[in-house]
Amino acid sequence: MKLEQNDKSMLFSYTDLPDVFFTEYLSQAKGDYVKVYLYMLFLSKYNKDVKITDLSKKLSLPFNIIQEALSFWENQGALTKKSTGYILNNLQEKELLALYSPKLTSSPESSAQVAQNKSRAAAIESINNQYFQGVMSPSWYNDIDLWFKKYSFDEQVMISLFGYCFEKSALHRNYVQTVAEAWHKNNIKTFTDLDGYYQKQEKLNLIKKSTAKKLGLNRPLTQFEEAYIEKWNVDFGYSQDIIDIALKKTTSKANPSFDYIDKLISNWNEHGLKSSEEVQNYMKELIEKNKRTKELEKKSGFQNYDQRNYENFDSLYANPVSKK
CATH number of domain containing 172: 1.10.10
> Has residue 322 been placed in a domain?
no
> Has residue 324 been placed in a domain?
no
Local confidence band at 9 (pLDDT 50, 70, 90 cut-offs): low
151: pLDDT strictly greater than 90: yes
> How many C-beta atoms surround the C-beta of residue 319 within 10 A?
9
100: pLDDT strictly greater than 70: no
298: pLDDT strictly greater than 50: yes
Q: Which of 87-101, 271-285, 310-324 has the lowest mean pLDDT?
A: 310-324
Examine the fold and report which residue of 189, 211, 229 is the final residue of a domain before the chain moves on: 189
159: pLDDT strictly greater than 80: yes
> Has residue 162 been placed in a domain?
yes
Local confidence band at 4 (pLDDT 50, 70, 90 cut-offs): very low
103: pLDDT strictly greater than 90: no
Same domain, 132 and 167: yes
Give the residue from 287, 277, 292, 198 showing the smallest Cα distance to 245: 277
pLDDT of residue 99: 63
Same domain, 124 and 220: no
Average pLDDT over residues 171-187: 92
Same domain, 114 and 151: yes
pLDDT of residue 301: 62
**Greater model confidence, 76 or 303:** 76
Same domain, 181 and 272: no
- Convert the pLDDT of each residue in 228-261 to its tens digit: 999 999 889 899 999 999 998 887 666 768 998 9
Same domain, 84 and 123: no
Local confidence band at 225 (pLDDT 50, 70, 90 cut-offs): very high
DSSP-derived 3-state class of residue 311: coil
Same domain, 22 and 75: yes
Per the structure, the complete domain to which residue 123 belongs is given by: 97-189
Examine the fold and report which residue of 62, 89, 116 is the final residue of a domain before the chain moves on: 89
Phi, then psi, of 85 in degrees rounded to 5: 150, -140
Cα–Cα distance for residue pair 269/278, rounded to 1 Å? 11
Cα–Cα distance for residue pair 88/175, rounded to 1 Å? 36
pLDDT of residue 84: 77
- Convert the pLDDT of each residue in 27-76 to its tens digit: 889 999 999 999 988 888 877 777 888 888 889 999 999 999 999 999 98
Contacts 24+ apart (CB under 8 A), 40-47: 40/79, 40/86, 40/88, 41/15, 41/17, 41/88, 42/15, 44/88, 45/13, 45/15, 46/3, 46/5, 47/3
Same domain, 84 and 46: yes
Average pLDDT over residues 253-278: 88
> Has residue 323 been placed in a domain?
no
Give the residue from 81, 116, 88 showing the smallest Cα distance to 101: 116
Examine the fold and report which residue of 145, 170, 189 is the final residue of a domain before the chain moves on: 189
Kindly compute the dihedral angle of the four CA atoms of residues 225, 229, 234, 237, in this order, to the nearest 10 degrees. Answer: 150
Local confidence band at 281 (pLDDT 50, 70, 90 cut-offs): very high
Q: How remote is the C-alpha of 232 from its chain's centroid?
A: 25
Cα dist. 72→37, 78, 97 in Å? 10, 9, 20
Same domain, 201 and 119: no
- Spell out the residues 6+ positions from residue 315 whose beta carbon is closer than 8 angstroms to its own: 308, 309
Same domain, 169 and 83: no
Cα–Cα distance for residue pair 207/209, rounded to 1 Å? 5
Cα–Cα distance for residue pair 35/38, rounded to 1 Å? 5
Same domain, 203 and 303: yes
Angle ∠(169,184,147) on CA atoms, nearest 5: 70
**Greater model confidence, 62 or 217:** 62
DSSP-derived 3-state class of residue 87: strand
Selection from 51-65, 99-113, 148-162 with the highest mean pLDDT: 148-162
Same domain, 274 and 166: no
pLDDT of residue 303: 53
Element of type H or E holding 80: strand 79-82
